[in-house]
């Protein structure tokens, strides 16, 4: 019996790192197609079904605002593919507007929507083009696993993308992500919990250079009754509402855990919650600030 055809849809805001992600997928053995007009996706899948050697290979397709005219047809097309037995997974790369403006300034590239195509139309301001792109891609973002690349190095982005595609398909993937408030709340967060109410190991000199993954920091926080209480309350909240998120056909739920520096409290709590939800199956843990080192 032939295995179901699977396709990874890679999309997101221009300048958010799709080229880096696509290269990582290609290195991992994916057959990658960049900037495919959505209406050609069924033809590509038909070619994959009819390949003579029938050797299994994962397929990744990058679709973005360069095919703006076809984007309204993409969402119903994905529904049709699902009904036809094609498993579609989507990753959406995003970044803050300030980060995108800086990246475009550094590379001196033109945003694909910097002109709207008509003769005599004035040059559109970069920030305006970015906001237009966000509106055009809003529906795709809602049904994808979102990765905020604002604070990520290229190596970190490659690792997170590969980690995402290796998660089991077909069930809601639960992501625990620690972060530093001083670097901003992640754009990919669905739920945000603030750990700054807990005693801070940073003010204990011997704990300052360590992280929430180190035993001395864990022991320090385990001795704080409010830490255990807060973790238990977050766990209870998630166990109460995870079934509702799953019924809503959510493929991903990112729970962001923040503290001041993203090194001690948020890291410890994210690790503890990931352990408690091992029974969930598809569970990932990320540390935005630690992973960037």
Residue 76 resides in a domain? yes
Residue 207 resides in a domain? yes
Together in a domain, 35 and 123: yes
Together in a domain, 64 and 127: yes
Out of 8-17, 50-59, 178-187, 283-292, least confident range: 50-59
Percent of the chain residues past pLDDT 70, beyond the cut: 92
Residue 98 resides in a domain? yes
Q: Give the list of residues 6+ apart from residue 32 with CB closer than 8 angstroms, or none.
A: 22, 25, 26, 60, 61, 62
User: Could you tell me which residue, 175 or 36, shows the higher pLDDT?
Assistant: 175
- Which of the listed residues 114, 142, 166 is the one where a domain comes to its end? 166
Q: What is the pLDDT of residues 196-249, one digit of tens each?
A: 999 999 999 999 999 999 999 999 999 999 999 999 999 999 999 999 998 887
Per-residue confidence band for 2, with pLDDT thresholds at 50, 70 and 90: low
Residue 70, pLDDT above cutoff 60: yes
* Per-residue pLDDT, 4: 62
CATH number, domain of 71, equals 3.40.50.300
Together in a domain, 33 and 140: yes
Residue 119, pLDDT above cutoff 60: no
* Per-residue pLDDT, 258: 98
Together in a domain, 19 and 62: yes
Residue 67 resides in a domain? yes
Residue 118, pLDDT above cutoff 70: no
* Per-residue pLDDT, 66: 80
* Per-residue pLDDT, 170: 66
Together in a domain, 113 and 219: no
Mean pLDDT within 84-95: 89
* Per-residue pLDDT, 78: 78
Mean pLDDT within 54-59: 72
Together in a domain, 155 and 205: no
Residue 51 resides in a domain? yes
Together in a domain, 153 and 254: no
The total domain count for the chain is 2
Residue 99 resides in a domain? yes
* Per-residue pLDDT, 53: 56
Together in a domain, 53 and 157: yes
Distances 189 to 167, 257, 288 between C-alpha atoms, Å: 18, 9, 12
Contact 165, 282 (CB under 8 A): no
Highest mean pLDDT among 63-72, 95-104, 240-249 belongs to 95-104
Q: What is the pLDDT of residues 137-154, one digit of tens each?
A: 998 898 889 999 999 999
Residue 1 resides in a domain? no
Owning domain of residue 139: 6-166
- Which of the listed residues 166, 197, 224 is the one where a domain comes to its end? 166
Mean model confidence pLDDT for the chain: 88
At 124, list the tokens.
């559109």
Together in a domain, 218 and 268: yes
* Per-residue pLDDT, 92: 95
* Per-residue pLDDT, 244: 93
Contact 112, 18 (CB under 8 A): no
Together in a domain, 201 and 75: no
Together in a domain, 189 and 212: yes
Residue 116, pLDDT above cutoff 60: no
Contact 163, 97 (CB under 8 A): no
User: Could you tell me which residue, 184 or 125, shows the higher pLDDT?
Assistant: 184
Burial class of residue 156 in the structure, from the number of CB atoms within 10 Å of its CB (0-12 exposed, 13-18 middle, 19+ buried): middle
CA atoms of 112 and 67, how far apart (whole Å): 10
Residue 165, pLDDT above cutoff 70: yes
- Which of the listed residues 166, 201, 220 is the one where a domain comes to its end? 166
User: Could you tell me which residue, 230 or 113, shows the higher pLDDT?
Assistant: 230
Together in a domain, 203 and 97: no
Residue 121, pLDDT above cutoff 50: no
Contact 148, 227 (CB under 8 A): no
- From 220, 224, 233, select the one nearest 273 (Cα to Cα): 233
């Amino acid at each position: 019996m032939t295995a179901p055809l699977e396709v990874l849809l890679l999309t997101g805001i221009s300048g958010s790192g799709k080229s880096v992600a696509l290269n990582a997928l290609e290195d991992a053995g994916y057959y990658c197609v960049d900037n495919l007009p959505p209406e050609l996706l069924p033809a590509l899948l038909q070619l994959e079904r009819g390949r003579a050697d029938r050797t299994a290979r994962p397929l990744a397709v990058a679709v973005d605002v360069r095919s703006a005219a076809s984007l309204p047809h993409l969402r119903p097309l994905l529904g049709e593919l699902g009904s036809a037995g094609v498993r579609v997974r989507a990753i959406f790369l995003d970044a803050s507007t300030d980060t995108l403006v800086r990246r475009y300034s550094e590379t001196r590239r033109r945003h694909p929507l910097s002109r709207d195509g008509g003769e005599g139309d004035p040059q559109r301001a970069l920030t305006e083009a970015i906001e237009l792109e966000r509106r055009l891609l809003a529906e795709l973002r809602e049904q994808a696993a979102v990765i905020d690349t604002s604070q990520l190095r290229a190596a970190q982005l490659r690792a997170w993308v590969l980690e995402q595609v290796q998660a089991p398909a077909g069930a809601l993937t639960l992501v625990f992500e620690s972060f530093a408030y001083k670097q901003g709340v992640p754009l990919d967060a669905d739920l945000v919990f603030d750990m700054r109410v807990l005693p801070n190991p940073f003010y204990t000199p011997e704990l300052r250079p360590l992280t929430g993954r180190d035993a001395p920091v864990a022991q320090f926080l385990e001795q704080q009754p409010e830490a255990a209480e807060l973790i238990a309350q977050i766990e209870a909240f998630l166990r109460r509402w995870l079934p509702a998120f799953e019924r809503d056909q959510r493929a991903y739920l990112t729970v962001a855990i923040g503290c001041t520096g993203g090194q001690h409290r948020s890291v410890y709590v994210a690790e503890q919650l990931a352990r408690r939800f091992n029974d969930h199956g598809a569970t990932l843990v990320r540390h935005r600030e630690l992973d960037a080192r």
